[in-house]
Every structure is written in C-alpha cells, then in structure tokens.
Amino acid sequence: MEQDFYKGRHTGVHGIDVIVTDEAERARIHAIIFEELVNGIEREDSLQADPSIASQATRAGTDSVILGCTEIGMLLNEENAAVPPYNTDAIHREAALDMARA
C-alpha cells in the first residue's frame, strides 16, 4: 500500500490524494488476513478491526476507502464502513463480466 506503485498512480494519473494506514495497522490487517481469514478463521474482534481502521481514516479526512485485497471485503463492506468502500475484487469481477458480455 505504501509503495509509489499504488499511491503514485492514483495521485499522479487520477489526482486522488491517498492516505495509507500506518505500519502498525497494516501489520494488524496483514496478520488478520494471513493468520486467520485465509485459514477460515473469523474471530469477532478481528472482524471489528477493519471498520475501526476505516473510521480512523475518516477522521483523518478520507471520503472513501479502497479494499485492495480480496479478503478485506470479508471485514469491511457498505454496511459497516464509515465511508464508501471500493472493493477491488468486486470491481474486477464486474469488469471481467462486462468484457465477457461484450
């Protein structure tokens, strides 16, 4: 998330200001995804972690969040996000279906 490959493309090409969660929050999200979710473990405190992080980002001035990992949609969605989430997994699926229909 913090590398310019992601931030630079959005900022430079699309004029979007990108705010990345701090290193501790990224480590927490990473641990939840790779130690729990990919192993089929859904702990209630972990399921509450991402909405909490998104709420913190909202207080920092964000108006939306990008869910840039396929598992993040298990944690954060339209129902529990403080701002609109953009689920890249769903966006890519829809684009693929649109291309297949064309």
What pTM was estimated for this model as a whole?
Answer: 0.75
The two three-digit tokens of residue 50, written as one number = 């991402």
Give pLDDT tens digits for 91-101.
999 999 999 99
Residues 6+ apart with CB under 8 A from 7: 1, 18, 20
Residues 6+ apart with CB under 8 A from 80: 51
Give pLDDT tens digits for 26-83.
888 899 999 998 999 988 888 777 667 777 777 778 888 888 888 888 888 888 888 8
